[in-house]
Amino acid sequence: MERQTDKALVSRPRLVQLALVKAREAAIHFMRTKPLGATGMVIVLVASLVALTAPLAVPHDPWEVNSSTILQSPNTTFWFGTDMLGRDILSRTMYGARISMLVGLVSMLGASFIGTAVGITSAHFGGWYDLVVQRFIDGMTAFPSLLLAIALIAAFGQSLTNVMLALAIVFFPRITRVVRSAALGIKQTPYIDAARAIGATDLRIMVRHVLPNTFAPLIVIATASVGTMIIVEASLSFLGVGTPSSVISWGSLLSGDVQTFFAFDPWIGLFPGFALTLVVFGINVFGDSLRDVLDPRLRGT
């Protein structure tokens, strides 16, 4: 008995070591076969690191107004220049990553939770429930995402929480369709019939058997949606209906008086806009490569 216990204790570090080796091999293989996806992953990781360390890494106070440094072009003191109130654009761009990426991540998680729940139940129960749900989803997707988000924020009120809630509501229908499509195929498999035969409840079948098998398409659509959510949030802030003016986001850095001064002082909007474009590009190419890896139909293409 003691030998078996000692053997189990010795094997645990070995299993962890093997898992780390396999993860490293998988990462190296992904970088070799999907260099563009690996580049996108690096961009996302760097942007996430900047967002997490912004309070400690910013060179200047992003809210500090200084009349002596108004509209300075990029220099050794202010690498990205300053805006019309003398605030450092580099510091504000780094802080903007926190809100923009937070909005994209939280909205994606909310949309994934709602979309997965609705998609799996719709496919599992079928009948009139599936018909009603899908017609409701069709009605929501008929509206442009930006207009629907504006309408929801007008109803909820302008705040960071309401922006994330509105984006989750706007984007969950497309996740619902993807998850429902995957769940319909899983529903016809023999192991679902076997689970029913042994008396498994509907909830157990959906949670234990259907949900884990929808993770691959769910991860792909959720990853691809993050970039779109960041763009929609930036568009809302650009129009003045997104995050409040007191909250720094990439969209707010492109709105307001920036549009007036941009023609003569382009660095005001150039650097935040470039950061937004680069991160969305990284998320999109990483999501595309992730789809190629996780989707069996696309492997080897």
pLDDT tens sequence across 199-234 = 888 888 888 888 888 887 888 888 878 888 888 888
Predicted confidence (pLDDT) at residue 7 exceeds the cutoff of 50: no
**Annotated domain spans of the chain:** 35-62+77-298
Separation of alpha carbons 56 and 58, rounded Å: 6
Query: Token pair for residue 138?
Result: 């069709």
Chain position carrying tokens 């961009």: 43
Nearest to 163 by CA among 252, 250, 233: 233
Q: What is the DSSP string of the chain?
A: -HHHHHHHHHHHHHHHHHHHHHHHHHHHHHHHH-HHHHHHHHHHHHHHHHHHHHHHH-SS-TT---GGGTTPPS-SSSTT-B-TTS-BHHHHHHHHHHHHHHHHHHHHHHHHHHHHHHHHHHHHH-HHHHHHHHHHHHHHHTS-HHHHHHHHHHHH-SSHHHHHHHHHHHHHHHHHHHHHHHHHHHHTSHHHHHHHHTT--HHHIIIIIIGGGGHHHHHHHHHHHHHHHHHHHHHHHHHTSSS-TTS--TTGGGSTTHHHHTTT-THHHHHHHHHHHHHHHHHHHHHHHHHHHH-GGGTT-
Looking at residue 11, its pLDDT comes to 57
Mean pLDDT to the nearest integer, 231-254: 80
Looking at residue 9, its pLDDT comes to 45
| 39 burial via Cβ count (<10 Å: 0-12, 13-18, 19+) | middle
Residues 6+ apart with CB under 8 A from 133: 118, 121, 122, 176
Looking at residue 297, its pLDDT comes to 52
**Residue 15, CA distances (Å) to 12, 28, 75, 78, 250 in order:** 5, 20, 52, 50, 43
pLDDT tens sequence across 75-107 = 888 888 888 888 888 888 888 888 888 888 899
Predicted confidence (pLDDT) at residue 53 exceeds the cutoff of 60: yes
Looking at residue 299, its pLDDT comes to 52
Predicted confidence (pLDDT) at residue 61 exceeds the cutoff of 80: yes
Looking at residue 176, its pLDDT comes to 92
Q: What is the mean pLDDT of the chain?
A: 82
Nearest to 250 by CA among 41, 56, 62: 62
pLDDT tens sequence across 8-29 = 444 566 776 777 777 777 777 7
Task: Tell me the pLDDT band of 121, cut-offs 50, 70 and 90.
Answer: very high
Task: Tell me the pLDDT band of 295, cut-offs 50, 70 and 90.
Answer: low
Looking at residue 120, its pLDDT comes to 92
Task: Tell me the pLDDT band of 65, cut-offs 50, 70 and 90.
Answer: confident
Task: Tell me the pLDDT band of 301, cut-offs 50, 70 and 90.
Answer: low
Predicted confidence (pLDDT) at residue 156 exceeds the cutoff of 60: yes
Query: Token pair for residue 1?
Result: 């008995």
Percent of the chain with pLDDT over 70: 92
Mean pLDDT to the nearest integer, 31-41: 83
Distance, CA of 113 to chain centre: 13
Choose between 138 and 244: higher pLDDT.
Answer: 138
CATH assignment of 35-62+77-298? 1.10.3720.10
| Least confident among 2-6, 30-34, 260-264 | 2-6
Q: Using the Cα atoms of residue 118, residue 155, residue 151 and residue 243 in order, give the sign of their dihedral.
A: negative
